[in-house]
Amino acid sequence: MKTKYEMLKYTDKEWAELASMLSDEKTGQGELLSRFVSDDKSGVIKNWKEMQKFSNDKEINVDRAWNNLYGRLSEDKLIGKPVTGKKLIAGNAFLRMAAGFLILVSLGVASYLIFNHRTTDSAIVVTTEMNQKNLQVTLPDGSTVCLNRNTSVAYGHNFGKTDRKITLSGEAFFNIVPVPDVPFVVDAGKAAVMAKGTSFNVISSNSANAVEVYVLTGKVVLSDNSGNRSIELEPGFIGTMKKETSSKTLNNDPNYLAWNTGILVYDGQTLETVFNDLRKVYNMEIVADDPGILQKTWTSPINNQPQETIIRLICTSFNLNFTKVGNTYHLSAVK
C-alpha cells in the first residue's frame, strides 16, 4: 500500500504535464508518464479517461472540490501538509482539467487507503450533500441505488464478479437485480442486509441509533455483525437491529418512502406532522407564528410540487399569509 506521502512526490508542473499527456494535449511517452503508470495502483488513468467524456458537458467546481477533498484527507491524516490547487486553477479550460486530474488522483489514493482493508481493489464512492437527494446510481450488475441527502455508498471495481457487496452510510433505496447464487449484501455498519432480488430501503443509523430496513418487494434478511441474530423481512415490514436487540413491525406510515417518491398523502393529519414531513422530504423549513396553526388538519396529497406552490396551497386553504426569510417560510393568520 502507498504511504500517505507518496501522492505528493510529483510537483504541480509534473501534474499539469501528466494531465496534458492524458488529455492528448501533449504527445509523448516520456519518463514521467512511465513512472506514473508504474505508480498507478488505484486505476486513476482509467477513471481519468472516463472523466474526460463528461468534461465538455459539465463544468466541475474544482476550487470547491479541491478544498473539500484536502480538508477531509488532512483531517483523517491520509496526507501530509495540504497542497494548494490555486496555482493550477484558472480560466484556461486545460488548467481546470489538470486540477481535476490532480483531484482524481487524490481521490484514487484516498479510496485505496480507506477501503483496502475491506477489498482487494480500490472503491468507487458516491456521496450526496444536504441539498441533494434522489441521486440514482446504477451498479455493474444492473441494480440501482437511490441516495437520500447526506448519504454515501462505496463498492469495489470488481463488484458483481465474485460478490455483490456495497457499503452504506445514510439512507438509500435499493432495487436489486436477481443473480443466481450471488446474494446482494449491504454493509450498513452496525448490521448487514442480504437480498437476492428485491427492493428495499435501508437507514444505516436511525433516530434510535439502529439499522432500519423496510421491504417493498421480495424478501430480505437483516443480521447483526456477529451473525447470531437475524430477521427475515417480507414486503410491508420494517426491521430494526440494535447492538443487543432487534424487532420486526408492520409499516403503517404511507409516507415512509416519500423522500424517494416525492409523494405525501394525508387523511386528517395535523399541519405539525405535514411540516415535519416537508422538512424531511422537500428540505423545507416552515415556522408557524401562531401555535394554533399547527393543529389544523390536512387531507390533500402533495406530489412533487415546487416549494412555493405547496406553501400557497396551505395558505389558501387556511387563510394564512407567508413570508420567506432566508430558507424559512413563516406563516401567520390573515388579519
Which DSSP string do the residues of 228-259 spell out, in sequence order?
Answer: S-EEEE-TTEEEEE-SS-EEEEE---TTTTHH
pLDDT for residue 152: 94
Boundary of a domain, candidates 84, 101, 117: 117
pLDDT for residue 248: 97
Exposure of 7 in the CB half-sphere (CA atoms within 13 A): 29
Query: Radius of gyration of the chain from Cα atoms?
Result: 24
244-262 pLDDT, tens per residue? 899 999 999 999 999 999 9
- Cell numbers at 92, concatenated: 484556461
pLDDT for residue 46: 53
Contacts of 83 (CB under 8 A, 6+ apart): 8, 12, 70
CA end-to-end span of the chain: 69
- Cell numbers at 241, concatenated: 437491529
pLDDT at 52 > cutoff 90: no
pLDDT for residue 318: 96
Instruction: Return the H-helix or E-strand segment holding 68.
Output: helix 62-75
pLDDT at 265 > cutoff 90: yes
Percent of the chain with pLDDT over 90: 54
Distance between CA atoms of residues 95 and 92, nearest Å: 5
162-190 pLDDT, tens per residue? 899 999 999 999 999 999 889 999 999 99
pLDDT for residue 214: 98
pLDDT for residue 132: 85
Closest CA to 20 of 93, 110, 83: 93
**Is residue 1, in this structure, part of any structural domain at all?**
no
Q: Are residues 287 and 271 part of one domain?
A: yes
Q: Show the domain range for 262.
A: 258-333
Q: Are residues 142 and 244 part of one domain?
A: yes
pLDDT at 33 > cutoff 80: no
Q: Is pLDDT larger for residue 214 or for residue 61?
A: 214
Q: How many CB atoms lie within 10 A of CB 2?
A: 14
Distance between CA atoms of residues 319 and 32, nearest Å: 70
Burial of 126 (0-12, 13-18, 19+ CB in 10 A): middle
User: What is the count of structural domains for the chain?
Assistant: 3
Alpha carbon 11 to chain centroid distance? 32
- Cell numbers at 311, concatenated: 406553501
**Is residue 220, in this structure, part of any structural domain at all?**
yes
pLDDT at 70 > cutoff 70: no
Label residue 243 by pLDDT band (50, 70, 90).
confident
pLDDT at 2 > cutoff 90: no
Q: Are residues 213 and 285 part of one domain?
A: no
pLDDT for residue 280: 93
Whole-model pTM? 0.64
pLDDT for residue 194: 96
Q: State the sign of the Cα–Cα–Cα–Cα dihedral 184, 186, 192, 195.
A: negative
DSSP class per residue in 203-225 = ESS-TTS-EEEEEEES-EEEEET
Q: Are residues 274 and 222 part of one domain?
A: no
- Cell numbers at 233, concatenated: 423481512
Region 87-114 average pLDDT: 46
pLDDT at 161 > cutoff 50: yes
pLDDT at 91 > cutoff 60: no
Q: Is pLDDT larger for residue 179 or for residue 91?
A: 179
- Cell numbers at 196, concatenated: 437476492
Q: Are residues 242 and 129 part of one domain?
A: yes
pLDDT at 109 > cutoff 50: no
Boundary of a domain, candidates 117, 151, 178: 117
Closest CA to 222 of 207, 237, 239: 239
**Residue found under cell 406530489:** 303
DSSP structural state of residue 123: E
CATH number of the domain residue 187 falls in? 2.60.120.1440
- Cell numbers at 95, concatenated: 488548467
Q: Are residues 208 and 309 part of one domain?
A: no
Label residue 272 by pLDDT band (50, 70, 90).
very high
Q: Are residues 314 and 199 part of one domain?
A: no
Percent of the chain with pLDDT over 70: 64
